[in-house]
Structure 1
Amino acid sequence: MRIIDLSSPVDARAWEPDPVVHEILTPAEGARHMAAEMKEHFGVDFDPAVLPGGELLSLDTFTLTSHTGTHVDAPAHYGSAAVTEYGEPLTAEQLPLDWFLRPAVVLDLRDQGTGAVGVPVLERAIKATGHHIQPMDIVVLHTGAWHYAGTQRYFTDFTGLTGEAVDFLLDIGVKVIGTDAFSLDAPFGDMIRRYQDSGDRSVLWPAHFAGRRRPYCQIERLHNLDALPAAHGFRISCLPVKLAGSGAGWARAVALVED
């Protein structure tokens, strides 16, 4: 079995609308930090100079949102119980794990432009795979956006789905929809411009708001989709981190390909 990494890195050097902050305590600083903590909390004196090279362990502190890097959106991200049609939406630690280790199919949308595509485009993409999507399959959109990860363009130029397109997949029994783009919806600027031109509120975040009608999850910001050997015939594992009470959880998404 081959394991293909489909996760984008969390990198403080990359451009993000909510910048990542990465603070590092070196092993030497970690030794001094541990000595100070031992003194403050336990009244124990310890000289870090007795350690080999005066070093203990490094310590990294990241400040970032739960939607940075490859992550799973939980139903709680889409709205509160006040707006869902099915009651209290699940948070990240409550999600059923069997949703996130499943056969997968990749739909090629690289010929689509910036905006939201509907059911006819999905139907053509599904037909091109030669695969009949089964209930609980993980469906992944290959938009090509992952090539721009780490740049401002990643957040402004990509293909998303309409609410009807999401409902189409949910009708099949899909519980997890993935994308290599920043969002399963069209870019923010595209949606807002279409709303301002038309006054039609339904163009605002329709893919996310579909999760207010029926619970499902998104995997956003997938990476490296060109490395997949085919459109189907493999499984994806994308188990979300148990962030209690959170609307999302980071995931190390991988494809499991049987040789």
Structure 2
Amino acid sequence: MRIIDLSTPVDASGWEPDPLIHEIMTPAEAARHMSEEMREHFGIEFDPAELPGQELLSLDTLTLTSHTGTHVDAPAHYGSTGAYGVPRTIDQMPLEWFLRPAHVLDITGVEPDTRTVGVPHLEKELARIGCRPQPLDIVLLHTGASRHVGTPRYFTEFTGLDGPATDYLLDLGVRVIGTDAFSLDAPFGDMIRRYHATGDPSVLWPAHFAGRRREYCQIERLAGLETLPPTGFRVACFPVKIAGAGAGWTRAVALLDE
């Protein structure tokens, strides 16, 4: 079996709209920290000088949102209520959703000014690759946006799904839709411009808000989709079990039998 990494890194050196702070405690600093913590919490005295090289173990502390890096959105992310009942949080989602056969749909050919794809494009792409997703299959959208990871362009230059296209995939029984872009919807600025021009609220976050009517998850900020065959592989994307959270990070990978 060949394993292909589909995840973007959590990298504090790249550009992010939300705070991302990565603090590293060196092994020497951690030895002193451990000594102080043992004394304060457990009344145990231990001199760090007794350790080899006066070092213990490094410790990383991160400040970030659950939507930093490759992550899975839970239904609770889309709103506080759903037509199907109370939306589930990420720790409540069934694990069998996250290890499934998968298919890649190429939407890199969409005109840059369009910023969204609809049902006709998805139907054409599925016909091209000769595939019809089965219930619970995972569908991944290759937009090409991952080439901008770490820069402001990653958050403004990508293509999303419109509302009918999202429902089309959900009607097929898909419950996990992934993208190598920042969002499954179009860029914020594009949606808001179209809303101001048309007054139509349906252009605002249609892919996310579909999750208020239909229970499903998104994987956002994937990478490496251009390296995959269009079908015939599996994806593993188990989300981190964060109690009560609307999303959880994942180390998403493709599994290809050889």
- Structure 2 length as normaliser, TM-score? 0.98
Residue 241 of structure 1 pairs with residue 257 of structure 2: no
Residues 24, 59 of structure 2: 8 Å contact kept: yes
Shift of 1:128: 1.3
Contact map agreement 2:107 2:117 (CA 8 A) in 1: no
**Pairing of 1:80-229 with structure 2 (within 5 A):** 80-81=80-81, 84-112=82-110, 113=112, 115-228=115-228
CA displacement, residues 55-93 of structure 1 (integer Å, 9 cap, x when unaligned): 000000011000000000000000012xx2111001000
CA distance in 1, matches of 2:257, 2:29: 45
How many Å separate the matches in 1 of 2:19 and 2:66? 12
Structure 1 residue 226: Cα displacement:
2.0
For residues 135 and 88 of structure 1, the distance between their equivalents in structure 2, rounded to whole angstroms, comes to 23
2:240 aligns to what SS in structure 1?
coil
Structure 1 CA distance for aligned equivalents of residues 106 and 42 of structure 2: 58
Any idea what SS the aligned residue of 1:232 has? coil
Q: Give the equivalent residue in structure 1 for 2:70.
A: 70
Q: How far off is 1:193 after superposition?
A: 0.5
Aligned partners of 1:100 and 1:188: how far apart in 2?
28
Output the CA distance in 2 between the equivalents of 1:198 and 1:99.
37
- The yes-or-no answer on 1:257 pairing with 2:256 is yes
- Note the C-alpha offset of 1:258: 0.2
2:246 and 2:156 mapped to 1: Cα distance? 23
Rounded Cα–Cα distance in structure 2 between residues aligned with 1:132 and 1:118: 17
Q: 2:43 and 2:170 mapped to 1: Cα distance?
A: 58
Q: Cα offset for 1:19?
A: 2.7
Which deviations, in whole Å up to 9, do the C-alpha atoms of 1:4-43 show, x marking residues without a partner? Answer: 0000000000100003100110000000000000111122
TM superposition shift of 1:225: 1.4
Between 146-155 and 109-118, the greater mean CA deviation after superposition: 109-118
Distance in 2, Cα, partners of 1:157 & 1:124: 23
CA distance in 2, matches of 1:131, 1:214: 23
Q: CA separation in 1, counterparts of 2:233 and 2:42?
A: 52
Could you list the runs of 5+ residues in structure 1 that have no partner in the other structure?
Answer: none
| Structure 1: 4+ residue segments shifted above 4 A | none
TM-score by length of 1: 0.97
Cα deviation code 1:92-127 (max 9, x no counterpart): 000000001000000000111251111011111111
- 2:33 corresponds to which residue? 33
CA RMSD of aligned residues (A): 0.7
* C-alpha separation in 2, matches of 1:41 and 1:167: 53
Say whether 1:42 aligns with 2:32. Answer: no
Please give the alpha-carbon distance, in whole angstroms, between the structure 1 residues aligned to 2:44 and 2:83: 56
Paired residue secondary structure (2:232): strand
Deviations 1:213-256 (A, max 9, x none): 1100000000111221x100100000011001000010110000
Whether the 8 Å contact between 2:102 and 2:139 is mirrored in structure 1 is: yes
Tell me the distance in 1 between the aligned counterparts of 2:160 and 2:7.
19
Aligned-pair CA distance for 1:158 = 0.5
> Which amino acid counterpart does residue 244 of structure 2 have in structure 1?
G
